[in-house]
Amino acid sequence: MIRRASTTSLGITPLVVSLLAALSACANTGVRADAEADAATKRTRGVWSATFDNDSYSFNDGNYTNGIRIGWFSPEIHSLAPTSVSRRVARASGWLPGIDPNGETYVGFAAGQLIFTPENLLVRDPPLDDRPYAGILYFDTSVMTRDEDRLTAWFLRVGVVGEPSLAEQTQMELHRWFGADPPRGWDHQLRDEPLLNIGVERHVRAASGTLGDGFEYDVTPNWGAALGNYFTGLNAGVQLRVGRDLPEDMGNVKMRTSFEGRAIIEGVQTRTYAFLGLDTYAVAHYLPIDGNVLVDEGRGVDSRDGVAAGRIGFTTSRGNAAITLAYTLLTDTYDTQGQTGQYGTISLAWFR
């Protein structure tokens, strides 16, 4: 069976163009000519990123099946013109706990699409005890402040679930292109509903040191909370990294909570490191499983109260670009789940 590894390359080509246009409007880099080039601690160039999740990378099919995210993070905001969009967002966010517009602060924008399906794509009317078809189109705004080895990040997600997400068209076009059996149950996807979510995460580098032969390590616990009709709950986790000349960032993209830790990078050099992470979630509501909040009709099953996700991968960078490859394995997210939740990630970042 043709899996959906290439979903991001065909059906959403017009979507990608639209997302890039929207992000370009937000990415006002307005760098002052007299900005100090303090690249050892504060980045003075923006970071573009593209992240692709897909279950076929892990030789699986079903549940969380595909995600694409295109994002931009500002330079350290004090290297930008006072009238830039990023500076204005940072000033407007100064009332949030942990955000200091006068400190080392970064602002990011991202847009993306998420696709979720039942485990059997060939059934026209999926069982009521299976997770529903769900497509999500979203736009994230992030602001984060770093104080040495501590980072606080706030996120605002707005978007839509249902037919306007274009998830059905994305998946159907790809299957037609490859002559694969089309998924037959999109008539039962979650109903149209606007999304609004706010979240916060705290990351603290708790330990770091050398291992010999030029290798370093660091350990960074994190915890946070989110509220909204996309995801309401708590999260906590930890990440271990091992490599030479570890960067100052705080991790990789987590689409579930909107966190993107690569905003903090002290410079671009050649480096490779491996990472191992564990994230846990206390779930009060997770829309792709529990179903609509603002619309009574529609399908859904009960999320499990607790979910864990383990992640392993590596990042390598050279020149102005970096690439991350990762594999994520999840515990069951609902009681009647049959397939193991797992997916692969390819993430690209480049500096401009």
**Segments making up each domain of the chain, as ranges:** 7-33+46-351
Among the listed residues 49, 55, 225, the one whose alpha carbon sits nearest the alpha carbon of residue 152: 225
pLDDT, tens digit (0-9, with 9 covering 90-100), for 100-147: 999 999 999 999 999 999 988 889 999 999 999 999 999 999 999 998
Give the global pTM.
0.84
Q: Cβ-count burial of 190 within 10 angstroms (0-12 exposed, 13-18 middle, 19+ buried)? A: buried
Apex 65 CA angle, 231 and 70, nearest 5: 70
Question: Tokens 């000349």 belong to which residue?
Answer: 245
Q: How many CB atoms lie within 10 A of CB 102?
A: 11
- pLDDT score of 282 more than 80: yes
Helix (H) or strand (E) holding 172: helix 167-178
Select the CATH number that applies to the domain covering 7-33+46-351 from these four: 2.40.128.140, 3.90.190.20, 2.130.10.10, 3.30.160.110.
Answer: 2.40.128.140
pLDDT, tens digit (0-9, with 9 covering 90-100), for 4-61: 333 333 334 344 444 444 454 444 444 333 333 343 445 667 889 999 988 776 555 5
- Give residue 6's pLDDT: 35
Q: What percent of the chain has pLDDT over 70?
A: 80
Among the listed residues 133, 98, 68, 94, the one whose alpha carbon sits nearest the alpha carbon of residue 343: 68
Residue 251 and residue 280: Cα distance in Å, rounded? 16
CA dihedral (291, 50, 220, 327) in degrees, to 10, reads 70
- Give residue 43's pLDDT: 62
Cβ contact 199:258 at 8 Å: yes
- pLDDT score of 215 more than 90: yes
Average pLDDT, the chain: 83
- Give residue 34's pLDDT: 36
pLDDT, tens digit (0-9, with 9 covering 90-100), for 290-342: 999 998 777 899 999 999 999 999 999 888 888 999 999 999 999 999 888 89
- Give residue 319's pLDDT: 81
Q: What percent of the chain has pLDDT over 90?
A: 59
Residue 16 and residue 137: Cα distance in Å, rounded? 12
